[in-house]
Amino acid sequence: MNRFNGMCGHTISDYQRLIEIPGTELAIGSLVEVSDSGVCGDVYGVIRWIGIPPGISKNVLVGIELEDEPSLKNIPLSDGSYNGLRFFTCHQGRAIFVTSDRCKTDRRFTDKDSYHVGNKITNNQEINFGAVACPSISGSVPPLRIHSSDELQKICGKFKGIQGHHNSCYLDATLFSMFTFTSVFDSILYRSPGPKDIRNYRDVQKVLRDEIVNPLRKQLFVRSDSVMKLRELLDQLSSVSGLTCEEKDPEEFLNSLLSQIMRVEPFLKLSSGQDSYFYQLFVDKDEKLTLPTVQQLFEQSFHSSNIKLKEVPSCFIIQMPRFGKSYKMYPRILPSQVLDVTDIIENSPRQCFLCGKLAEYECNECFGSLQVGQVSGLECTAFCQQCLVTFHMHAKRNNHVPTKICIPKDFRIMADHMVVPRVYMELFSVVCIETSHYVAFVKSGSGPDAPWCFFDSMADRKGEQNGYNIPEMTCVPELTQWLSDEGARSINETSPNDKVLPDHAKRIFCDAYMCLYQSTDTMMYH
């Protein structure tokens, strides 16, 4: 019988809650194994709650969510409740409460194994999965900057990136995209808490920065129990449940972290008055498009919704037109390496698509009506006054109703002496999904020649039920060519069947779930 059983008439506030088990390195979020006195072997799980029951000063009680539903004989199972009180929430039969002396660090993460970088075994033949392998790193660590495929190849290999565990791929791929090679999200790591921030703001920020981002940038490896600390905090502090064990989508994680906990200012400020962290493409399928680009779908979506952005965002997260984990509107989509956002910025100076002078009018009804050279889409909706009159003399267009573009006064003065600039954003990551598993392609630097890597937090596995996942980074030198208009057209014409596409090409064209763009001009101010 559990030595704490029989206590009744108490409330949760009667229990002295702790963050860690005194005298150990085990804390909330730690991965542990629990001895069952040899009846059915050890079981594994994550610490969800630690505390001291009322009336007992020496014994510490630990609540653990198990990886699987075991057949335990000596330990009662629950859904996170103990003695009629709820301490956390999980599936029925997946929670146990034991004394702290029965808990120890999950041995699977103190194992050793050899790993490779490229085709060579590194000088460190063995890598430790215990505390030594992934220490907390305080301070400011800048993102990695890689300039060539050869340089990227040297840092790729197994046990690189974020180690996956317990359905964490949605979070692993997103975090790797957000922080490894770019600083566009770094304000989250350093902003001081304000009066409207939650009480645990610094706790979440410290775990994210010191236990995940800094180790990722410093040593290119984050052990899964470090990530579990963040998952545990998000699960407790946000309305998104199941973040420690269930399959989730990247947008659920981003909503929990950015909106509810860190209160990050939304990246997208829409003319409709709404703000958002990401933008879902909503388009009607065009049967003539066999390989649509993100730029084409982006312009169609903004045109049909008749909205604009109030300002250029530092980051633009775009969700592809797919619903659920299986239905895709287009079998293949080409992620545009550069996103032209000029025509969806409210009151931004634009160029007349016919003569190149400063545009003063916009005609949304002209969208898609024609293509002049390389100009099409929203760019074809902007006119100077003279071209507007001339172009709309045609019988098919003389009933169009254009609207006036509000041009900043300072720019109007200089317009005759300068070229109207266009505003571009750079693709830096594509998060992909196939059969509920998320992976990511991430650009290792800025500029058109920066190489790309492929990241999978669960690329391999050691052991079965009680084993651990092995994350892997792979250099993909062909990706820049595949993402070019000519390269994409060539590989799609020569490989009409998805099964004969190169594996990484299939992933980037067929499985894209979310494209992340950054503005190198504005990201430093956010």
| E-only strand ranges, 140-196 | 157-158, 161-162
Place of tokens 């000088």: 123
Question: CB–CB of 260/237 below 8 Å?
Answer: yes
Give every CB contact of residue 316 below 8 A, 6+ residues apart in sequence: 267, 268, 279, 339, 341, 425, 516, 517, 518, 519
**Rounded to 5 degrees, what are φ and ψ at 279?**
-125, 120
The candidate with the shortest Cα–Cα distance to 89, out of 282, 298, 246, is: 246
Cα–Cα distance for residue pair 46/48, rounded to 1 Å: 6
Cα–Cα distance for residue pair 516/61, rounded to 1 Å: 44
DSSP H helices in 238-287: 250-254
Three-state SS for 39-86 is: CCCCEEEEEEEEEECCCCCCCCEEEEEECCCCCCCCCCCECCEECCEE
- Helix (H) / strand (E) element for 361: namely strand 361-362
- The residues with which 95 forms a beta bridge, in sequence order, are 65, 78
Quickly count: other Cβ atoms within 10 Å of residue 209's Cβ. 22
427, two tokens: 């693709």
Looking at this protein, which amino acid is placed at residue 163? Q
Question: CB–CB of 470/164 below 8 Å?
Answer: no
The DSSP-derived string for 127-140 is: EE-STTTS----S-
Helix/strand/coil percentages in the chain, nearest 5: 25, 25, 45
SS3 label, residue 502:
coil
159, two tokens: 């046990």
Give every CB contact of residue 90 below 8 A, 6+ residues apart in sequence: 48, 65, 79, 80, 244, 245
SS3 label, residue 518:
strand
Length of the chain counted residue by residue: 526
138, two tokens: 């305080």
Question: CB–CB of 108/129 below 8 Å?
Answer: yes
Active site includes 116? Answer: no
Q: Which of 303, 392, 437, 504 is catalytic?
A: 437
Active site includes 315? Answer: no
DSSP β-ladder status, 279-280 and 315-319: parallel
SS3 label, residue 229:
helix
Taking each continuous run of H as one helix and of E as one strand, the counts in the chain are 13, 28
Quickly count: other Cβ atoms within 10 Å of residue 40's Cβ. 13
Q: Which of 90, 103, 134, 169 is catalytic?
A: 169
Which amino acids are annotated catalytic? 169, 437
